[in-house]
């Protein structure tokens, strides 16, 4: 497996995806009213930002892959690495399925906290303390911004309602 070649292919794929999103998908499939008072609240703003970040990331991958020496791995993934990768994929699918089931009951914020932490521990983070702090703080800060500053209703659960 040639790491340099894979990195170049990923970069090209990211740039093509970003161009498609910015020129076709977002303009034609994301509807946005013309009277949005703040550009940050427009439905097309954040998809365009994410598409631009995807494009910049793709360009970065292509630039760094062209600077990288070609290193070819002859062994590929070992059998136990393949098993661990398959386990993580199955775990990720299970986390996503459980998130879909938990969202109506727990609400978006609490489900996001649990999914964040579960995903970090699934991929064996080296910083569990920081992950747990971020798993709680990031969804709460985002909730505070969207619910109280932007005035967007965030789905609440049946058990605990945030102010």
Tens of pLDDT, residue by residue over 95-132, are 999 999 999 999 999 999 999 999 999 999 999 999 99
Q: Give alpha helix (H) positions in 68-152.
A: 79-106, 108-122, 128-144
Question: Structure pTM?
Answer: 0.63
Q: What Rg, from alpha-carbon coordinates, does the chain have?
A: 20
Summarize pLDDT for 127-161 with one digit per residue, the tens.
Answer: 999 999 999 999 999 999 988 888 888 888 887 77
């Amino acid at each position: 497996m040639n790491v340099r070649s894979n990195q170049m292919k990923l970069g090209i794929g990211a740039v093509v995806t970003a161009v498609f999103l910015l020129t076709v998908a977002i303009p034609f499939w994301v509807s946005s009213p013309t009277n949005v008072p703040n550009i940050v609240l427009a439905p097309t703003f954040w998809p365009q930002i994410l598409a631009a970040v995807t494009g910049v990331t793709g360009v970065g991958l292509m630039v760094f892959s062209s600077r990288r020496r070609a290193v070819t791995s002859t062994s590929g993934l070992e059998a136990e690495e393949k098993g661990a990768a398959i386990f993580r994929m199955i775990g990720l699918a299970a986390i996503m399925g459980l998130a879909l089931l938990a969202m109506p009951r727990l609400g978006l914020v609490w489900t996001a906290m649990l999914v964040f932490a579960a995903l970090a521990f699934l991929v064996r983070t080296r910083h569990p303390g920081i992950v747990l702090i971020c798993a709680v703080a990031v969804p709460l800060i985002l909730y505070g911004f969207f619910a109280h500053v932007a005035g967007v209703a965030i789905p609440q659960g049946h058990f605990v309602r945030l102010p």
